[in-house]
Structure 1
C-alpha cells in the first residue's frame, strides 16, 4: 500500500505554556521557522505543502535527494533555508516562487534543507496508526541506515522538560527556532486534526507609535516603527486589537499628524499576504510602546501582529534600538 498526495498533515493548536502536568508520555520537538512539507520519496518524488500545493519544481535539489533516498517513504518535515544568522524565511518565500532555470539557480545560491520529524510510510508500510514513539524509532533507523546528512536533518526531540524550556530562549528564536512542539508519544498520526500542541517563543520589544487604525482619540490598533541610521521612521509591527482600557488610555495622549508625517500617503496592506489597503491615521511619533512578540522577524519587521502591553513613558524614540537592531 502507498500513500498518494495530497495527504492532509496532522496539525497543532497553540498554547501559552507547556502543560504543568501530563498523564501521557510526552515528547518535545523544536519548531523551526519554515514551510510544512510532506516528502514523497519515490523514483518520481513529490514535495507537498501544508495545503496540498506542489513544491517539487521550486526545490529541485530536494526532489533529487528524495528520489535518491534508496527506500520509498513519506516523511513529514519543515522545509527551511539557512541564512548567515539562522533560518531565513524571506529567502524561503522567494525560492518558493521560482521555477525552471530560476529554481535551479536559487538551489545553488540558497540551498534548502528538510528538518524531518515524522514518517508516515516506509518501504511500503503505512505507519500512521503506529504510536509516535514507534514512528520516531523508525525515522531514527532510517537516518542511521542511510547515513543521511544535509540537506536532510533529523528534528531534535527530547522527553526532558528542562531541555524543552531551554529551547524557548530568545537566542534560539533569533536563529529561527519559533518554539516547541508538544506531542503524546503514544499518539497515532491523524491527518487534518489538531492533535499536537505548539508553544511559540515570546519576548517583549519596543516600538514608536507611528499610526493607528481608528482615530487618534479612539485607536483600535497601533502601527509601530523604529528610526533607521538616517533618522527615517520605518514600519516594524502592527498590534492586535487594543483592549478597551488600553484604547482609552492611548486615546488620551495620542495626537493626529498631518502631511508632514513620514508615513502620510503610504499604502500598507491590511494583513499578511493581503492586497487590501489598511485605513490608518498617522500620529505624532513621540510615544514608545512595549509589546509582546514572537520570534518571527523578517528584515527587522515582525511577521505576525504583536500584542500591546503598555506605554514606556521612561523612553524616548531616540532611546530604543535602531531599525533592524535587537534591544
Structure 2
C-alpha cells in the first residue's frame, strides 16, 4: 500500500494516443499522482498542448522518447504502446517500476496462443508468467500484489462482466455463447488509417475481424477459467459504428436446465452489489452507450429471449474508459491500496 502523503510518480508511454490522453485527463484529477514523464516517439520534444490542445491549461511535462526517460523519477508506468511493441520495452524497465499495460502483449497466458494470433513469438515469456489479467472486479486480490497488470481489452471487458458470474454459477451453457459487439471508431486508435477515415466509417456500419478477431482468444481464456475447461469457444463478431466512443455487447446464451433469465439477473445483482462501476439496471431497461460516455461505468442487464431456454445479455461501456484508460486507473488504485474511485468519480457526459 502506498502512502497517501507521497505522490506516486507516473510515466505514460505512448501518451500521444487516445488512451494516453484519457490517462492524463484522469490522472490530473488524482490526489496521489504526479505525472513525471510522457513519451511519444514521433511527437518527442512537443508540448502536450500541441498534441492535445484540450490539455493546454494543465502543467504537464513535454513528450519525450522512451530512451530519454529518467527512470529514477518513475514509480509506475502506464504503457499505451501499440500491440507487438510492448514486451521488450516492459522487460527492460527497472525492477522497482510497477506497470499497467494497456496493449494486448501480456493478456494471453499461453505464449503459443499469443504467437498463433499475433503472428510472432512472445518476446518476454518469463515476464508473461508473472502478469495478472486485470479485469478489476474479478481479480482484485491478484491485481493488488502484481508488478505487471495486463489491462483487458475493450471487447473482452464488455463481454466478460455479465458472462463470468453466470458461467461460474453454472447457469448458462459454455458451448453456446454468441457475442455480437459494436465499438466506436476511437477503438481503432489515433493513427491515420484508411479504414478509420470519415468517409470510410460515416453513414454506415460494418463487421470486421469476422471469425478472426484477436479478442476472441482473450475472451475464451477468461470464460474457460470460469467454466473450468480449456476447450471453450465462443462465436464473437465485432462491428464498427460511426461514433467517437462507446461499446455495446449483445450476448445470446442458452440456459442450463432449470435456470431462468430471472436467475441470471439475480446472480448479476448479487455479484455486483456495492460495486462502484458495474451496475445492473432495473428489469426491462436496455443499457445505452450514451449513458456511460466519459465514465468508467459498465451498465448491464438480462432479458428473457422469446425462444424458450435462452436469454439475452446486454452490456455497455465507454471503450476508452472502462475498456481502456479508466480500468487502468482502477487497477492502479487497487495496486496501491487506494480507493478505486480516485480519479474516476466522473459523471457520464449527456447528451
Give the TM-score band, short-chain normalised: under 0.3
Q: Which structure has the greater CA radius of gyration? A: 1
More strand by share: 1
TM-score, with structure 2 as normaliser:
0.25
Q: Quick check: which one's helix share is greater?
A: 2
